[in-house]
Amino acid sequence: MKWLGLLLLLAACNTGLHRVDYTDTCNVDSDCVAVFMGDPCNGCSCTNDAISTSSKAKYDADARAYASFCSPFRPQCLADCVAARAVCQAGRCALSTSP
């Protein structure tokens, strides 16, 4: 079953988590949550984007599914992640590094 999921992911040419797959609309900052977008197998999964809290369950399920195919020998992350928080800007979730 695990291989079937991998084949489906590869067939879709979707090798990671992408913002377009999740809702990012908001009214207030609390409607947003900070997440990692990209290839979860690359070693670093620093927060680099924000989505609507209404998409968080789908995001979490997708992140677990992708991570289940990562090698246990994936690269170690040597980067320091920048502290960021999710905010609502002009009706869209975004990241802010300001305090």
Convert the pLDDT of each residue in 35-75 to its tens digit. Answer: 999 998 887 889 999 999 999 999 999 999 998 888 888 78
**37 vs 1, 4, 41, 94, 99, CA distance in Å?**
25, 23, 11, 12, 22
Q: Is-contact 62 12, C-beta < 8 A?
A: no
- Kindly state the percentage of the chain with pLDDT values over 70: 85
The domain total for the chain is: 1
Per-residue pLDDT at 72: 83
- pTM of this prediction? 0.79
14 pLDDT band, cuts 50/70/90, is: low
Per-residue pLDDT at 69: 87
Report which of 32, 84, 25 is spatially closest to residue 53, judged by C-alpha positions: 32
Q: Is-contact 66 9, C-beta < 8 A?
A: yes
